Amino acid sequence: MPELPEVETVRRSLELHLAGRTITGVEGEAVKLRRPLDPKSLARILVGRRLEAFRRRGKFLLVDLEPEGTILVHLGMSGRLQIAQPSEPRLPHNHLVLLLDDGRELRYADTRRFGLVDWLAPGAEAMDSSLSKLGVEPLDPHIAEILPSLLHARRAPVKALLMDQRLIAGVGNIYAAEALWRARIRPTRAGNRTSLNRLTNLAVAVRGVLTEAVAQGGTTLRDYATPEGGYGYFALELKVYGRQGEPCPSCGSTLRAGVIAGRTTAWCPICQR
C-alpha cells in the first residue's frame, strides 16, 4: 500500500506537471471503490475547473480547484495516477480519466479497488469521514515533541501504534518497521512500557526515514509508480522490511518476523529490545 513518501512523490509530480491546467472532460466507469465512483456526476462538477494546488494529508492526496472545491484521492493498495497522452494505452482497471486543456490526460487506475476518488465541496474537508480522524503529520518539524506522549499513553505494541492513522497519519508497514530498527525498539514492545526518551528517538527516526524515502521517490515493491512512470528507489535502502531470515545489517543476527496488527514485520532480536 502506498504510504506517505509515495503519496508525497505523486503530489510533487502532479504539482510540477499539471498545476494551472483546466479540466475539459471526464471519462470513466461507475465502480464501487472505497466510496462509489460516478464519473458522470464528476463531469458535471469538474469540467471547466482549473487544477489550482496539490496537497497531501497522511496518505490522502487533495487537489484544490478553481472555482472552489477539492478532489480527494486515496491510492488504496494498488491505485495509480498516470499522466499520459491520449495515444498511450490505458492501464487495466482504469476507472477515471480527466481530460486536460493541453491535450494530456490524468488517469486513475485501481486493480484491487481499495482506493477512492471523491469530490469535496467547499467546507466539506473539515467534516470528511476519512480526513477528520487523521492524527499528527510525521513530517511536522515538532513531531519529536508531539509523538512520544501519544505513544506512551497506550498499551498496544508500538508498531501497531505507528500504523494507527488516528495517531500519526501516513506511516504504514514499511516505514514503521524501518523506523523501529533505526530506533532500536522491538516492534512488539508496548507503548506504555517504552521510555519517553526512546520514543523521542523513534519519532526522530520516523521523520528521518520518511524524509529519506521522499528524496528517493518512495518505495516500489509491486504496483507503485510515479505519474510519469518512474519508480521509487528507497527499496534499495530497506534494512529489515521483508528481510526476515536474513542477517541484520547492524549486528549480523538473523532477523525474526511476526504478525502485528495484521501485518508481517521483521526485526532484529539483538539490536531491537
We report the CATH number of the domain holding residue 75 as 3.20.190.10
Tell me, what's the pLDDT at 168? 98
Tell me, what's the pLDDT at 23? 98
| In a shared domain, residues 125 and 163 | no
0.75 exceeded by pTM: yes
| In a shared domain, residues 106 and 189 | no
| In a shared domain, residues 16 and 119 | yes
Select from 99, 133, 167 the last residue of a domain. 133
Tell me, what's the pLDDT at 224? 87
Q: What is the pLDDT of residues 87-124, one digit of tens each?
A: 999 999 999 999 999 999 999 999 999 999 999 999 99
| In a shared domain, residues 172 and 115 | no
| Cβ atoms of 247 and 221 closer than 8 Å | no
Residue 75 located in a structural domain: yes
What is the CATH number for 196?
1.10.8.50
Tell me, what's the pLDDT at 221? 81
Catalytic positions = 2-3, 59, 263
Tell me, what's the pLDDT at 11? 97
Give the single-character DSSP code of 112: S
The distance between the two most distant Cα atoms of the chain, rounded to a whole number of Å, is: 59
Taking residue 66's Cβ as centre, other Cβ atoms within 10 Å add up to 12
CA gap 96, 50 in Å, rounded? 17
| In a shared domain, residues 36 and 157 | no
| Cβ atoms of 117 and 107 closer than 8 Å | no
Residue 230 located in a structural domain: yes
| In a shared domain, residues 92 and 10 | yes
Instruction: Write out residues in the chain with pLDDT < 70, as ranges.
Output: none
Tell me, what's the pLDDT at 222? 75
| In a shared domain, residues 114 and 156 | no
Number of domains in the chain: 2
Domain that holds residue 206: 143-267
